[in-house]
Structure 1
Amino acid sequence: MMKYPIVPLGEVCDFVYGDGLKEADRKGGNVPVYGSNGIVGWHDEAITKGETLIVGRKGSIGEVHLSKNPCWPIDTTYYIEKTKVPCDFTWLYYTLLALDLTRLNKSAAVPGLNRDDAYEQKVPLPPLTEQKRIASLLARADHLRQLRQTARDLGDELLQSVFLEMFGDPLPNPKNWKRIRLENCCDQVVDCMHTTPNWTNSGVLCVRTSNLTNTGGWDWSDTRYVTEEEYKERTVRSEVNVGDIILSREGTVGVVAIVLSGMKICLGQRLVQVSPKRKVMASEFMLWLLLYELSPERIEKVMTGSTSQHLNLADLRKMEIIVPPLSLQAEFAGVVARVESLRGRMGESARQVDGLFESLLAQSFSS
């Protein structure tokens, strides 16, 4: 790998303070208004004249965005539209990402980035032609990552579309399916223990609301464990079995996941375990039914005592749900299995692409 001069970021560019623009003063138009977390609105006037880099100053500090067109960065940001040395802006964008300016927060109350701290960060400075080569390579890898995520999102949309096509909207019930109470479709609807688990570094997985998603999958980015003894204590009322559905009843309602083969788990706080009767209800059908009916925009129509922040357990048990023929539910479960199998292969591919991008990023900007 070629070696380039290592210079402080402050010798490459200046961070300029963004300008305040209240939401009420934004007039629409085609000029993007940037906050620290990206585009926050549109206006009919820009304060930059061309390609612009936006860096979060308050709030989402250190987050970096690239606008290819003139824009209006507001006062929670810094922006860069001129450099002190010849720079390709896409290269500079990836340079700032590699620096990870989010780690420079010094404020405990309101996250904030001091630009003097950013200026001290060291970066390699290749010639402009080499910058363009690096930027092109990283942009292609980044685009591939985004395509993978788009494909996963389309998978979620596909399953909801198939669900609605096969069963209709469960609320108006245009196909006139039989309706019965949720509790009558289940062997049990069980609340979790109302005590905080005693966490350990290893042991049995204890799931929390943060492990559930609004697309029916699991998120294991933050896992917690309990001892075997605590696992037994937390499953005295009911062991969690394959095909059971776990949902959140407080905080973030509408996040749901299904227990898969090989999973040994117990429940943390604010969760509910729903065990469908296998002769009445396919778990995959109930999962997508609950994802649809417990979504923030519909939950209050379904259960008057519940909101997007709180699910009333008594109302959940009494909630009337559609019960299509089990054969049709099984057909939908087959569609879910095929999509999940495809997403599993895509997930492995996505991890490889992410690893490639991170490796390229590190190699391109290592000193």
Structure 2
Amino acid sequence: MVALADLVDIRGGGTPSKKVAEYWGGSIPWASVKDFKSSELSITQDCITELGVKNSATNVLPAGTIVVPTRMALGKVAVTATNMAINQDLKALLVKDERVLDKRYLLRFLESKSDEIAKQGKGATVKGITLDVLRELDVYLPFPNNAEKSLKEQKRIAAILDKADAIRRKRQEAIQLADDFLRSVFLDMFGDPVSVDKVSFGDVVAIDAKMVDPREDAYIDLVHIGPDRIEKETGMFLPALTAREEGLISKKFLFDERHVLYSKIRPYLRKCALANNVGLCSADMYPIRAIDGKTTREFIWMLLLSEQFSHYTETLPDRASIPKLNRTELALFEFSLPKYESQVKFSKVVNSVLSMKSRYAIEVSKENLLFGSLSQKAFSGKL
């Protein structure tokens, strides 16, 4: 094992003053934690000017530089796809000698240490790590007494992990394409209504799920869904615990396969899912039932995920530090209701695509396990 500080130089970043307009909107990508969406940093939400670089603590890094967050998003790691600057929450790891350490190998090694790094975060609200945590991180190098042989083995390991990662990413991209396809079909079928009367949301749905005691035998082993168990914008469920496992005490809504689950907390996150079993949901969720003959739950699901509904929630007044959508506001939402027969056709498309997504998700889960197993073997000398 070799300390990371012996293998790389660590360089920090900074933020140009937001008060000086001339520092912003330039041609230099400026990365922050919010840009960490994959293992590659290619597009950033913000760009700065040369003047912004000169008048701040930021650094412009060459393409191919490994970057890690030391505040928020702990455990993530990415490589820059182009020259870019970074802010103070990120640190660049510049390999001292590429005859000793391969960049792709280091990237994959740091990914394997994600949980270990995240666990060392300190802070009441925002977690961070010190530079010493990075400096003292032990890096496994194969054949440490033979630099040439070690580098060759590092490249072999990195190539295997890169290939395994590419396979799982293609599957993840297929899932994303499925989501895009559904949105496209929804807009094609219902995005430009002609001579369609508007209705209020409350006229075509019901929120009548009963509340039950999760400690009762009939409910204690049902899964509990809160807003944090639904992936934003996609409607995919995340792993959840049962009422027994969570030790729930307060009453919860009982939902089943007829319901659409919508999070009333922070509507802009668009957390909405089609229930696929019987379960419990928190009071921060609305279990919405489409009234048969008027609308379908698949149509309601996509409507709640639409730009039209998001725009509506954005026009509502904020009454608290945490935005919430109350029942009256939900019921008063007006939209053009297509013919029921058209909704049924759309529902068939949705269910077909969701079935495919479910199969893909299972494959992604298997591939994630395989990738984790390969990483574990690779960085213990067993690959």
Once the two structures are TM-superposed, the CA of residue 87 in structure 1 deviates from its matched residue by 1.8
Aligned-partner Cα distance in 2 for 1:321–1:295: 9
What secondary structure sits across from 1:296 in the alignment?
A: helix
Once the two structures are TM-superposed, the CA of residue 128 in structure 1 deviates from its matched residue by 1.4
Once the two structures are TM-superposed, the CA of residue 51 in structure 1 deviates from its matched residue by 3.0
Identity score, percent: 23
Once the two structures are TM-superposed, the CA of residue 77 in structure 1 deviates from its matched residue by 2.2
2:70 maps to amino acid:
R
Matched, 1:137 2:160: yes
Decide whether aligned partners of structure 1 residues 359 and 29 sit closer, same or farther in structure 2, where only a CA change above 3 A counts: farther
Normalising by structure 1, we get a TM-score of 0.81
Deviates more, 1:283-292 or 1:209-218: 209-218
Aligned-partner Cα distance in 1 for 2:72–2:213: 30
Q: How many corresponding residue pairs? A: 349
Counterpart of 1:70 in structure 2 is 83
Matched, 1:259 2:275: yes
Within-5 A mapping of 1:12-23? 12-23=7-18
2:373 maps to amino acid:
S
Decide whether aligned partners of structure 1 residues 362 and 25 sit closer, same or farther in structure 2, where only a CA change above 3 A counts: farther
Aligned-partner Cα distance in 2 for 1:280–1:182: 11
Once the two structures are TM-superposed, the CA of residue 329 in structure 1 deviates from its matched residue by 1.0
Structure 2 gap ranges (5+): 36-43, 51-58, 143-149
Matched, 1:220 2:235: no
Decide whether aligned partners of structure 1 residues 255 and 265 sit closer, same or farther in structure 2, where only a CA change above 3 A counts: same
What secondary structure sits across from 1:66 in the alignment?
A: strand
Counterpart of 1:315 in structure 2 is 329
Within-5 A mapping of 1:264-343? 264-292=278-306, 295-300=309-314, 309-343=323-357
Normalising by structure 2, we get a TM-score of 0.78
Kept in 2: contact 1:183–1:317 (CA 8 A): yes
Match of 1:7 among 2, 5, 10: 2
Once the two structures are TM-superposed, the CA of residue 197 in structure 1 deviates from its matched residue by 7.1
Aligned-partner Cα distance in 2 for 1:319–1:348: 36
Decide whether aligned partners of structure 1 residues 353 and 281 sit closer, same or farther in structure 2, where only a CA change above 3 A counts: same
Decide whether aligned partners of structure 1 residues 268 and 196 sit closer, same or farther in structure 2, where only a CA change above 3 A counts: farther
Kept in 2: contact 1:179–1:323 (CA 8 A): yes
Aligned-partner Cα distance in 2 for 1:297–1:104: 40
Counterpart of 1:3 in structure 2 is none
Decide whether aligned partners of structure 1 residues 329 and 49 sit closer, same or farther in structure 2, where only a CA change above 3 A counts: closer
Matched, 1:348 2:343: no
Matched, 1:185 2:204: yes
What secondary structure sits across from 1:14 in the alignment?
A: strand
Cα shift readout 1:340-360 (whole Å, capped 9, x = no counterpart): 111112112211221222122
Cα shift readout 1:307-354 (whole Å, capped 9, x = no counterpart): 992213113223333332222111111111111111112112211221
- RMSD, aligned CA: 3.4
Once the two structures are TM-superposed, the CA of residue 306 in structure 1 deviates from its matched residue by 9.3
Once the two structures are TM-superposed, the CA of residue 132 in structure 1 deviates from its matched residue by 1.6
